[in-house]
Chains A and B, each alone.
Chain A
C-alpha cells in the first residue's frame, strides 16, 4: 500500500483482557518497528524486525508483550492480561533498508489503546 496501515485505530480493553494490534507495512519494506507513546511523551522503542527475524526486543516492558512477523510482512503486537499502564498509542514504522537511519522510516497513524 501507499503507507503503513495500523488496525484497529482505537481499542478499549477491560483490564485483564488480551489484545492484538496489527501493522501492515509498506510492501517490500524490510525493517519493521513498534513504538509505545504514552500520553504527553515521546515514543519509546519496543521491538525491531528485519524481515521475519526479531532482532531486538529489548524495549518490550514485560513478558506480557509479544510481537511477531511470521512471513516478513504483516506484524502483530499482542498484549496479554492488559493493565492500565498499557494505555498508550502504539506506533508501527517500516523502512525499505536494513540501516533505516540512513534512509528514513515511515510511521503509521497508530492504535490508541485504552485499558479500563
Chain B
C-alpha cells in the first residue's frame, strides 16, 4: 500500500522569494516519486520524477526536489517564484516499475506581486 501527504493545502509567496512545498510518502515498496503541476483548465504537467537514481532531482522551470528516505520526504523547492508558478501542485507516488499513481491532496500556490 502507498499514500502521500502534502503538508500544506495552500502556500502564499511573494514573487522572487523561495517556494517550498512539503510532501511525505508511505510505501511498502521502493517508490517512484513525482511532482505534477496543474494550471486552471489545463492537463497535469510533469515537473520532475525520482526513480532511484540521484536523490536530488532537477525538473523544469527551475524546480527541484530531494528524496530523503530516512524522512520519507520528497519536498519541492524553487529559489525564486514567478507569477506563472501560481497553480496546484501534486506530489505523487508509484511502485517502482509499477503503473498506478497515488496522488496527494494538492497544494495551491498563490504568488503575490
Contact of B105 among A41, A91, A100, A102 (CB under 8 A): A41
Inter-chain contact B97/A99, CB cutoff 8 Å: yes
- Cα–Cα distance between A45 and B100 once the two chains are bound (Å): 7
Inter-chain contact A104/B99, CB cutoff 8 Å: no
Contact of B97 among A3, A102, A110 (CB under 8 A): A102
Size of chain A's interface in residues, with CB distance under 8 A? 28
Contact with A along B43-79 (1 / 0, CB 8 A): 1111001010000000000000000000000000000
- Cα–Cα distance between A44 and B43 once the two chains are bound (Å): 15
Q: How many A-B residue pairs have CB under 8 A?
A: 64
| Closest A residue to B104 using CB positions | A42
The interface of chain A, by Cβ under 8 A from chain B, is 3-4, 31, 33, 35, 40-45, 48, 55-56, 59, 91, 93, 98-102, 104-105, 107-110
Inter-chain contact A101/B97, CB cutoff 8 Å: yes
Inter-chain contact A107/B43, CB cutoff 8 Å: yes
A107 with B99, Cβ < 8 A, contacts A101-B51, A101-B94 known: no
